[in-house]
Structure 1
Amino acid sequence: MTNIKSSSAKIKKFFRALGPGLITGASDDDPSGIATYSQAGAKFGLATLWTALITFPLMAAIQEMCARIGIVTSVGLTTTLKNHYSKTLLYLMMFFSVPAIILNIGADIAGMGAVASLMFPSISPMIFSVAFTILLVILIIYLPYNKIVSVLKYLCLSLFLYIAVPFFTHPNWGNVFRSTLIPTIKFDKDFIEIVVAILGTTISPYLFFWQVTMEAEDVKSSRQLILARTKIVKNEEDAATTEKKESNFISLLIRKMRLDVNLGMLLSNLVMFFIILATGTALFGHGINQIDTVEQAAKALEPVAGKASYLIFTIGVIGTGFLAIPVLSGSLSYIVSETFGWKGDLNSKFYQAKPFYIVITVSLLLGLLINYLGLSPIKALLYTAILYGLTSPILIAIVLHISNNKKIMKENTNSKLSNFLGFLTLIVMTVAAIALIYLQF
């Protein structure tokens, strides 16, 4: 009994130690990601499974750089750009990022409403979408950041539902291993488009901003806690002692962060792999190749793979929506607020940070309004992923430059491996974007 309690305590301690990396990775598998992976599986079967092996190291490398920037600077990515780079670059980043994030929020809200209506057919998707939007606004504004993090961590568990789905679809595991280890590449518009969408939804620019900001928030909280416990007063110490303590503190946080980020990105890519596997087996294998709405993706699984897999898929879309939308809207508000110098963060009360929370509210309302444009949720989700795929090379280049800038990062600049993976990510995303643009014309 003592051993069970001890193991349970260790698991809880380990789970509590995980933070921004886990949430970042989990929120990457939002309804946008789920729709993209489902479309890939339905349209091309197991042909895109190999992308999970490519995206994991690239995604982990970029998010580790972002996390390190947040730890070292203690400010958001937008503030770092504002302090060290030209305003043109700052506004260019806003121009590319804000519309994509709003479209992503709208697509996620629409997707959640659509699958909720499947579970309760008498209620229209729009009513669910409005209800989800109101609930999200209330939760984000009135829950303190620590509570939001706790809720988001437990919502991460909903992603494990997707890992169970393929076991209802009985795949040929020999084909699965071959498709995973031997890349299939088709030089046609549809295939390149879905590969760019997969890359865009896994290496999403909004996650860069979220990772930097959340690590910066954690650094501030940790530093305040240490100061409160030890009652260290910097001006009573000599400069060398203070600098050494600060350096050791940063090094410790970076070591802890790497485990957190790698586990988060591994979870994200495992979920992506299993969704492609589930839909590639259940839908493509039975001639269902076109998915036009999120609810079709869920509903198509039921006759082929059973009611359990259909319910898992549906509940997962709603759970990941509640996980991802606070991350999306929070990222957007940090971008806008830091650009214009507005005070506020997720730790602040509404009356302390009205502009910050107003941006979040407006982004959710604009996202909801996208539902009235007549754009199908699955199309909006795919367009979002493709837009991320086209814009992420610019932001990856910015992250690479910052993380190699000694003026900003001091002794914590990129290692040779980080630079290799970072520049490889930049090349892969740029080539994919160019290929997509070329095929459009």
Structure 2
Amino acid sequence: MSMLDQIKRLGPGLVTGAADDDPSGIATYSQAGAQFGTGLLWSMLFAYPLMVATQLASARVGRVTGKGLGHSLKAVMPRWLIIMLVAALFVANTINIGADLAAMGEAAGMTLGFGQHGFTILFALASLLLQMFIPYDRYAAILKWLTLVLLAYVALVFMVKVDWGQALHDLIVPHLDTRQAVTTMVAILGTTISPFLFFWQAAQEVEELDQVEERQPLEEAEHQAQDAFTRIRLDTFTGMAVSNIVALAIMLGTAATLHAHGKTDIQSAADAAKALQPVAGKLAFAIFSLGIIGTGFLAVPVLAGASGYAVCEVGGWSASLQDKPWRARVFYTVIALGMMPGIGLDWSPISPMKALFWCSVINGVVAVPVLVALMLVVSKPSVMGEFTAPLSLKIFGWITTVAMADAAIAMIAVPG
């Protein structure tokens, strides 16, 4: 199979990787670089195999069963616990959506000099209408090009003075010595291993079964397993690698610009955008804004859609971003309910950039029980049949779960 054919096979994993570098990711990586320099680069190297393991497990559930993660949870836990889990996911996603929309509005207002709140409302309505009336895969294919502006951070790394010896040391030698460093580590893990992405990737594998006629759930078409798992591995390893390369570039870029010049606390979009000035000059604010808005339009449907999938899979209602609203009323109602309260965050006294950072922390905590549920599902023969997770995936999946739990506990236990 040619390289071009391999690229064409990329799908849910690549979209997930792009959505992973959403506004909360940009804010978290920028804050990490500004506050700790290159000191937390190792976290991305540490997170990569964990990200891959969780997304491989999520995709495996959807591809094998032909059903989303929410539906499969019924086989491993009581209904009341599933409802609590989905409720926590919904709350975390709603806060994240609100922070993303507020940051998009702030970025647009910063660049144009007016209308921050108006842009927030406009972006929320535009995103909702796009989700309701245009299949996600169509406009996601266009919006992915907007996220390419994030490559400006990659260019930045080669245009500013970077202590590559120190950077390499910090990339491979873990170091945490304060509560704030641990909290930032939880935020980094929370924005890279976000619980909404588990539901999303499983659901997108199911969506692709409906769109590609020859594909069937593996429990009904065992002969498709080898090709399916090969595609999923390529897709997931590639998507997570792209996500982490951009994340490392943002951390390195902000370390070499903001941290190196004493700017260690990012309070606004303007503060974060200043990191791009060495490579973009007067266009720094515009490029940063395009990155925030582009990734926001990619991520908000993923966040809202993940909530919709989870609720509808548990409740037994139709759920698909390919469906029109009148064919999936409950699904789109959940999406709307998840987006509208988030707009209120734009009127709160909380800085959108700070809100994005703390959204990552919340996701890092909520991810722990969701990971436990995911690993129970993917390891259960009554759900997965002969396609339960291989030993390597189980080991990395449970390592991820323990690492996320330890980080969340350490955030409280480590002295300030």
Give TM-score, length-normalised by structure 2. Answer: 0.94
In terms of Rg, which structure is larger?
A: 1
Pair 1:269 & 2:244 matched: yes
1:434 matched residue in structure 2: 409
- The 5 A counterparts of 1:386-401 are 386-401=361-376
Cross-structure match for 1:92 = 84
Alignment check: 8 A CA contact 1:30 1:324 kept? yes
Which one-letter code corresponds to 1:23 in the other structure?
Answer: V
**1:131 matched residue in structure 2:** 122
Deviations 1:159-178 (A, max 9, x none): 43332232232322222212
Residue in 1 aligned with 2:71?
Answer: 79
In structure 1, distance between residues paired with 2:407 and 2:76: 30
Over 3 Å counting, the alpha-carbon distance change for 1:128 and 1:169 in structure 2 is farther
Q: Which residue of 1 aligns with 2:179?
A: 189
Q: What displacement does 1:410 show? A: 1.3
CA distance in 2, matches of 1:279, 1:251: 42
Q: Are 1:59 and 2:34 matched, yes or no?
A: no
1:179 aligns with 2:185: no
Alignment of 1:289-368 (within 5 A): 289-299=264-274, 301-302=276-277, 306-368=281-343
With 299-308 and 139-148 compared, the bigger mean Cα shift is at 299-308
Q: Distance in 2 between matches of 1:248 and 1:157?
A: 37
Query: In 2, Cα distance between the equivalents of 1:119 and 1:243?
Result: 49
Distance 2:226 2:267 in 1: 48
Q: Relative to 1, partners in 2 of residues 1:254 and 1:288: Cα closer, same or farther, differing over 3 Å?
A: same
Classify 1:347/1:114 alpha carbon distance in 2 versus 1 (closer, same or farther; 3 Å). Answer: same
Task: Please state how far the C-alpha of 1:155 moved relative to its aligned partner.
Answer: 4.3
Letter of the structure 2 residue corresponding to residue 334 of structure 1: Y
Contact persistence 1:166–1:274 (CA under 8 A): yes
3-state DSSP of counterpart to 1:285: helix
Match of 2:24 among 18, 21, 32: 32
How far apart are the structure 1 equivalents of 2:407 and 2:319?
Answer: 37
* Structure 1 residues 307 and 81: alpha-carbon distance in aligned structure 2, compared to 1, 3 A threshold: same
Where 1:366 maps in the other structure, the secondary structure is: helix
Deviations 1:171-190 (A, max 9, x none): 2222221221222221x221
1:215 lines up with 2:185 in the alignment: no
**In structure 1, what is the Cα distance between the partners aligned to 2:349 and 2:254?**
26
> Is contact 1:163-1:274 (8 Å) kept?
yes
Displacement of 1:226 after TM fit? 5.9
Partners in 2 of 1:25 and 1:206 — Cα distance? 13
1:314 to 1:165, Cα distance in 2 relative to 1, 3 A: farther
User: Which of 348, 356, 360 matches 1:373?
Assistant: 348
Cα distance in structure 2, aligned partners of 1:243 and 1:418: 18
**1:24-59, Cα deviation, whole Å (9 max, x unpaired):** 111011000110111111111110111111000111
Deviation at 1:352, TM superposition (A): 1.2
Aligned to 1:110, which of 97, 102, 108?
102
Specify the code of the residue in structure 2 equivalent to 1:421: F
Structure 1 spans left out of the alignment, 5+ residues = 1-6, 228-241
State the distance in 2 between where 1:296 and 1:209 align.
33
Structure 1 pair 303–258 and aligned structure 2 pair: CA distance change class (3 A): closer
The Cα shift of 1:361 comes to: 2.0
Percent sequence identity over aligned pairs: 38
Partner residue, 1:163: 154
Aligned pairs for 1:228-307 within 5 A: 246-299=221-274, 301-302=276-277, 306-307=281-282
Kindly tell me: are residues 84 and 433 of structure 1, through their superposed partners in 2, closer, same or farther at Cα, counting changes over 3 Å?
closer
Query: Cα 1:286–1:243, aligned 2, differ >3 Å: closer, same or farther?
Result: closer
CA distance 1:371–1:226, change in 2 (3 Å): closer
Local SS of the residue matching 1:134: helix
Contact in 1 for aligned 2:92/2:366 (Cα 8 Å): no
